[in-house]
Amino acid sequence: MRTIHHWINGAPVSGSDLIDVTNPATDQPIATVPMADTDTVTAALAAASDAFDDWSQTTLSRRAQVLFRFRDLLVENRSELAALITQEHGKTLDDAAGEISRAADSVELACGGPALVRGGTSLQTGPDIDTKSVLHPLGVCVGITPFNFPAMMGMMMVSVALASGNTFIWKPSEQDPGVCIRIAELFKEAGLPDGVLNVVHGRQDTVERLIDDPRTEAVAFVGSSQVAQIVYSRAAAAGKRVQAFGGAKNHMIVMPDADLDVVADQLTSACFGAAGQRCMAISVAVVVGESAEPLLAKLATRAEEVRLGPGDGDDTEVGPVVNRQSQERIQAAVKEAIAGGARAVVDRSAEVVPGFESGYFVGPTVLTDVEVSSAAYQEELFGPILVVLRVDSLGDGLELIRSHRYGNGASIFTRDGAAANEFERRASAGMIGVNVAIPVPVAAYAVQGWKDSAYGDTGLNNASWSFYTRPKYVTSRWDSVAGTDFGFRPN
Ligand code: NAD
């Protein structure tokens, strides 16, 4: 059993109230992690607060150099970090390595801090008056992240926050916290001064203490919409700057002219990959016209062939879901949908993996004839369950997307440019894919949901420079008022 510690002021800190971290493929505890008490939270806040003055005065290029070195360490240690993620989360090693690459993308963006953290100046905004804007860091920022991307979501917050001159307290998910501590160690190795990045483990009470403390200036959250709403309201009520990203139910529209083999391949990986536990997973396919039956046949073949197993298995394509409650919740949702009249084209939801009988496995499942009012369509199941709906027109498909409470991502598969254009303009979601099933933008753009998928108005990555800085506007006049005439008279 490993012991996972808090990370405060550049060093591991042990704690009490230990809970088990479990390998989802085996149901065996593999580590313990402490839940922070008041003293631990206070120590992290004090460390981050004390470190702020020096870090905010550190030059932009020096901050960027630390991030450059950290980015290299992230890539050099990708296999080790991926193995940690796989053990605690359950996703395949390839998928976990992909997560580290996406985390590095966020760090690479932040290495551009010297070019990106800047205001602007206008000359002669009045007689002899110039006006400029400058960007100040905020102070102590807090980030609360979900289990499904234990490294990447943190890096989407920490990178820009640190490049902007803030200090940070990261509260990762208690379900897979190991990789976060390894990341904090790598930051230290890269030269990050002690106290600039701290990691505390915990649950609701830890988050509440972090939000409420007057030293906390800003709160970033990613997780379920239910908790996002709570965090958003609490932080806003305390006068904090807050961005909170929530759940999703991402639709893919399949137009009549789409290549069904391509669509079936893309849906197989976009819905079943990472056991459906991606915030940008496609969980609803909306087939326009008559292609539903041929597409279902192709999906059935592929869903049956997906290899379920432990994330570190040689030929595993889909690992387990994160915990027993998720497994049981998803299995119950499938049963309820079928009892409510849905047709299971493939139902591997209760499949047991030989040799891993206690693992939290849920196999790929394809449901059709699902009622739009049912929980299987309305709720985020966060498992490898694909709902296939039929509509008569693109307009009907767009109306489904508009009516849904979530608006994280949406995609269309078509060869018709006009249909793609109409979809791009009208789909009510923050991240749109055209012949791309999981359209997570690169870090140079942003991660941003609409509706109940995000509360607050700034996205992650390149949209978060304004979140992590506050502008100051300076209006100045020297010549006429100060009498500083240096006698320069151009001809
Ligand atoms: P979760 O909401 O259960 O937990 C997220 C974080 O909040 C964890 O660190 C957890 O410890 C903490 N937390 C839990 N209950 C809390 C409470 N009452 N008060 C304060 N903090 C609390 O989410 P999860 O199950 O870890 O992650 C999966 C969810 O995250 C899915 O809904 C998924 O769609 C979403 N997600 C969204 C995005 C996005 O970009 N919108 C990205 C990744 C994941």
Structure tokens at 372: 């739009």
Ligand 1 mean position, distance from CA 274 (Å): 16
Does residue 312 lie in a domain region?
Answer: yes
Predicted confidence (pLDDT) per residue in 50-69, tens digit = 999 999 999 999 999 999 99
Predicted confidence (pLDDT) per residue in 396-446, tens digit = 999 999 999 999 999 999 999 999 999 999 999 999 999 999 999 999 999
Does residue 488 lie in a domain region?
Answer: no
Give the separation between CA 230 and CA 235, rounded to whole angstroms.
Answer: 9
Structure tokens at 35: 């839940």
Whether 173 contacts 149, CB under 8 Å:
no
Does 323 share its domain with 357?
yes
Q: Which residue's alpha carbon is at the smallest distance from atom 17 of ligand 1?
A: 204
Whether 224 contacts 405, CB under 8 Å:
no
Question: Which is it for strands 365-368 and 385-391: parallel, antiparallel or unpaired?
Answer: parallel
Question: 247: Cβ below 6 Å to ligand 1?
Answer: yes
Question: 235: Cβ below 6 Å to ligand 1?
Answer: no
CA 97 to chain CA centroid, nearest Å: 16
Ligand 1 mean position, distance from CA 222 (Å): 6
Which mutation among 147, 201, 405 tests ligand 1's pocket best, with the greatest number of atoms within 8 A of CB? 147
Whether 346 contacts 213, CB under 8 Å:
no
Which mutation among 35, 41, 148 tests ligand 1's pocket best, with the greatest number of atoms within 8 A of CB? 148
Does residue 109 lie in a domain region?
Answer: yes
Does 211 share its domain with 261?
no
Question: 397: Cβ below 6 Å to ligand 1?
Answer: no
* Active site positions, annotated: 279
Give the separation between CA 410 and CA 252, rounded to whole angstroms.
Answer: 6
- Reduced to 3 states (helix: H, G, I; strand: E, B; else coil), residue 469 is strand
Does 168 share its domain with 285?
no
Structure tokens at 226: 């239910």
Does 403 share its domain with 464?
no
Does 180 share its domain with 301?
no
Does residue 317 lie in a domain region?
Answer: yes
Predicted confidence (pLDDT) per residue in 254-267, tens digit = 999 999 999 999 99
User: What is the predicted pLDDT for the residue at 478?
Assistant: 85
pTM of the full structure: 0.97
User: What is the predicted pLDDT for the residue at 213?
Assistant: 98
402, 434, 466 — which closes off a domain? 434
Question: 440: Cβ below 6 Å to ligand 1?
Answer: no
Question: 200: Cβ below 6 Å to ligand 1?
Answer: no
Ligand 1 mean position, distance from CA 279 (Å): 10
* Ligand 1 atom closest to 202 (CA): 11
Q: Which residue's alpha carbon is at the smallest distance from atom 23 of ligand 1?
A: 223
Write the burial class of residue 151 (CB in 10 Å: 0-12 exposed, 13-18 middle, 19+ buried): buried
* Ligand 1 atom closest to 171 (CA): 9
User: What is the predicted pLDDT for the residue at 484?
Assistant: 76
Give the separation between CA 187 and CA 197, rounded to whole angstroms.
Answer: 8
DSSP 18-74: EEEEEETTTTEEEEEEEPP-HHHHHHHHHHHHHHHHHHHHS-HHHHHHHHHHHHHHH
Q: Which domain holds residue 341?
A: 250-434
Question: 382: Cβ below 6 Å to ligand 1?
Answer: yes
Whether 448 contacts 463, CB under 8 Å:
yes
> Domain holding 255: CATH number?
3.40.309.10
Whether 334 contacts 367, CB under 8 Å:
yes
Ligand 1 mean position, distance from CA 144 (Å): 8
E strands, 158-310, in order: 167-171, 197-199, 216-222, 241-245, 250-254, 282-288
User: What is the predicted pLDDT for the residue at 153?
Assistant: 98
> Domain holding 47: CATH number?
3.40.605.10
Ligand 1 mean position, distance from CA 454 (Å): 12
User: What is the predicted pLDDT for the residue at 489?
Assistant: 86
User: What is the predicted pLDDT for the residue at 487?
Assistant: 83
Does residue 446 lie in a domain region?
Answer: no
Does 330 share its domain with 184?
no
Structurally, the chain folds into a number of domains equal to 2
Contacts with 448 (C-beta within 8 Å, 6 or more apart), sequence order: 430, 431, 454, 459, 460, 463
Does residue 192 lie in a domain region?
Answer: yes
Question: 381: Cβ below 6 Å to ligand 1?
Answer: no
Write the burial class of residue 122 (CB in 10 Å: 0-12 exposed, 13-18 middle, 19+ buried): exposed
Does residue 374 lie in a domain region?
Answer: yes
Does 380 share its domain with 461?
no
Ligand 1 mean position, distance from CA 146 (Å): 4
Does 150 share its domain with 297?
no
Q: Looking at the DSSP assignment, which residues form a beta bridge with residue 456?
A: none
Please name which of 431, 430, 427 lies closest in space to residue 456, comparing C-alpha atoms: 430
Q: Backbone phi, then psi, for 389, in 5-degree steps?
A: -110, 160
Does 153 share its domain with 6?
yes
User: What is the predicted pLDDT for the residue at 96?
Assistant: 98
Give the separation between CA 45 and CA 68, rounded to whole angstroms.
Answer: 26
The ranges of the chain with pLDDT < 50 are none
Q: Which residue's alpha carbon is at the smallest distance from atom 19 of ligand 1?
A: 204
Ligand 1 mean position, distance from CA 245 (Å): 9
Does residue 274 lie in a domain region?
Answer: yes
Does 36 share its domain with 114?
yes
- What's the CA dihedral at 64, 156, 40, 209 to 10 degrees? 130
351 Rama sector, left if φ>0, alpha if ψ -120 to 50, beta otherwise? beta
Question: 153: Cβ below 6 Å to ligand 1?
Answer: yes
Does 62 share its domain with 198?
yes
Q: Which residue's alpha carbon is at the smallest distance from atom 18 of ligand 1?
A: 204
Does 216 share its domain with 304?
no
